[in-house]
Amino acid sequence: MNALASLTADPDTLRRITVLQGEVHVSADPFVELTTVLGSCVSTCLYDPIARVGGMNHFLLAEPPAHQKDMAFDEHYGVFLMELLVNRMIGEGALKSRFRARLYGGANMHQGGQSIGSVNAAFARSFLESERIHIAFADLGGDAARRVHLRPASGQVRCRTVAASKAPATQTFLRPERASGDVEFF
C-alpha cells in the first residue's frame, strides 16, 4: 500500500485502539487509529516521518509522590510511560533524532482544586526538552476535556474538546506489592 492510500483510508476499515490511563501503544499499521480522552491527564503522540511509525501514551500523574520515589516503579506515572513510549518507538525502527511530538491534555478540570493538569503538562514538556525531542505542537491546559485521535503510520492527529462529563474519572491506582518489568533509561 502506498503512503497516500494510508492517509485516505476509509474510516470504516480503521482498527481503533483506545489508549487508557497507564497505557502506551505504538504502530506502523496504516489501518490503526489510536484514540484517548483526557482531562487532567496528558497524552504524548510521537511520530517518526521516515520510519512512518507513531505512538501514544496516556498518563494520570507525572511522578510518584516524594515519599514513594524509593519504591519500585509504577507503570502509571508519566516518568515511566514517557520512557516506554520512546523505547517502543525505537523498537519499531524509529530514530529518536527524527521524533516529532504533539502534546495534549493537562486541563485543570475542577476550579479551586489541585493543578494536576498543569503539573502533568509541565512534566511532559520538560521530559521532551531534556531528551531533545522536538515538540511540533501542544494543546495543553485550560479546563476542557479533549478527545485525541492519532493515525500512527501517517502522524495525523485530530483533537477536539468534549464535555467534561465525557472525560474519564480520575482513578487512584493501588501500588502493587512488587512491581516487575524491564525499563531501559538512556
**How far, in whole angstroms, is CA 133 from its chain's centroid?**
14
Domain residue limits, the chain: 3-146
Residue 69 DSSP symbol: T
pLDDT in tens, 101-134: 999 999 987 766 678 889 999 999 999 999 999 9
Q: Taking the CA atoms of 116, 126, 41 and 91 in sequence, report the sign of the dihedral they define.
A: negative
Residue 124: φ, ψ to 5°: -60, -45
Q: In the predicted model, what is the mean pLDDT of the chain? A: 82
CATH class of the structural domain 3-146: alpha beta
Go through 139-177 and write b for each residue having 16 or more CB atoms within 10 A of its CB, e for each that does not. Answer: bbeeeebbbbbbbbbbbebebeeeeeeebbeeeeeeeee
pLDDT in tens, 45-59: 999 999 999 999 998
Q: What dihedral angle (degrees, nearest 10) is formed by the CA atoms of 19, 24, 29, 30?
A: 50
Give the model's confidence band at 9: pLDDT under 50 very low, under 70 low, under 90 confident, else very high. low
